[in-house]
Amino acid sequence: MKAIKNDLFLKALRGETVERPPVWMMRQAGRYLPEFMEIKEKYDFFTRCQTPELASEITVQPIRRYGMDAAILFSDILVIPQAMNIDVEMKPNFGPWVPEPIRSAKDLERVIVPDINDTLGYVMDAIDMTKEKLNDEVPLIGFAGSPWTILCYCVQGQGSKNFDKAKQFCFTQPEAAHELLQKITDTTILYLKEKVKHGVNAVQVFDSWGGMLSPTDYQEFSWKYIQQIIDALKDETPVIAFGKGCWFALDVMAKSGASALGVDWTCSPRNARYLTGGNITLQGNFDPTRLFSPPSEIKKMVKQMIDEFGKDRYIVNLGHGILPNIPLENAGAFIEAVKEYKAD
């Protein structure tokens, strides 16, 4: 692999000293950008994911506009269940929809661990095209959902405020739940390894619904599967683990072998450093809704956030994905504040 010209992000993942921390935004490739909306008007969601020309174009759009320090491949966590023979649709103004959710051991019989190139080759093609477009200017991040988060959609059948059906499935049919989680884990490991072969420079595991579980249930139904993914990949590429609402597990996560941990806005920088022992790279944790604040205020808050985390072993990011109706100028102010950062 050729050297990346701007390798700030990779330096931060390695824990090296940097002039300023790197910055990127979760969901930066997407719905807040007018150039993305033009593509969205012509093609439905999974067509955008499954067409390498479109996915690669969407991936580089924010880099062209704002010059973040890393690109993240435009895709979706639900391409994994699709590859596993679980039908997933994206309904406009509704979100993910699974017509035949997994609710029993019998339902599990049709779930496969697929051949990745057969089922998800389009993602690898998108990586190849994106790498060409990025021309080694910045690193490319590949990602997957955590097995628990994927299970939530596969069992619930749709998004939810509490994923009660998913939790009920785990607590009443634990054997079936663990079998499903293991199949998702095995598929995810194969998928991320293939991404690394195609040149992604780091991977992130999104545990969007980890915070729905109690600390004890989190260890059993989520973290031990994320740990398998980290163990399988950490010698090949840096792994970032991000659990939304999972501050209670940060001490365990810090010992996992991950290169960095994502933190949401409900955990202060000071607590995040304390809970992780102070020697692992952290990423986050600006409240995405705070991007509605005036640009001058955003800049002040970003500077304060960096001062609190410290500039080293730190990647500036949001505490979750950017919202669709954020003004472009405000997103720009967030990125600019990091690029202009000087410690007092």
Distance CA 50, CA 54 (A): 8
pLDDT(185) > 80? yes
The predicted-structure confidence for 67-117, as pLDDT tens digits, reads as follows: 999 999 999 999 999 999 999 999 988 999 999 999 999 999 999 999 999
pLDDT(293) > 70? yes
Greatest distance between any 2 Cα atoms in the chain: 61
Residue 344: pLDDT band (50, 70, 90) is confident
Distance CA 93, CA 156 (A): 18
**Residue 113 in contact with residue 44, Cβ under 8 Å?**
no
The predicted-structure confidence for 262-275, as pLDDT tens digits, reads as follows: 999 999 999 999 99
pLDDT(1) > 90? no
Other CB atoms within a 10 A radius of the CB of residue 62 amount to 26
Phi and psi torsions of 23, nearest 5°: -140, 140
Domains and CATH numbers, the chain: 8-339 (3.20.20.210)
Helices (H), the chain: 8-14, 34-42, 45-50, 52-66, 79-83, 105-108, 116-134, 147-156, 164-172, 174-197, 215-218, 224-233, 250-253, 269-275, 295-309, 328-339
What single-letter DSSP state applies at residue 204?
E
pLDDT(295) > 80? yes
Q: What is the pLDDT of residue 158?
A: 97
Q: What is the pLDDT of residue 330?
A: 98
Binding-site sequence positions for substrate: 27-31, 46, 76, 153, 208, 320
What's the mean pLDDT when you consider all of the chain?
Answer: 97
**Percent of the residues in the chain that have a pLDDT greater than 90, as a whole number:** 98
Distance of CA 213 to the CA centre of its chain: 19
Distance of CA 271 to the CA centre of its chain: 22
- Half-sphere exposure at residue 169, Cβ-oriented, CA atoms within 13 angstroms: 26
Please give the single-letter amino acid code of residue 174. Answer: P
Question: Would you call 191 exposed, middle or buried from its count of C-beta atoms within 10 A (0-12, 13-18, 19+)?
Answer: buried
Binding-site sequence positions: 27-31, 46, 76, 153, 208, 320
- Tokens for 130, please give them: 């994106």
Rg, the chain, Cα only: 19
The predicted-structure confidence for 35-66, as pLDDT tens digits, reads as follows: 999 999 999 999 999 999 999 999 999 999 99
Other CB atoms within a 10 A radius of the CB of residue 94 amount to 10
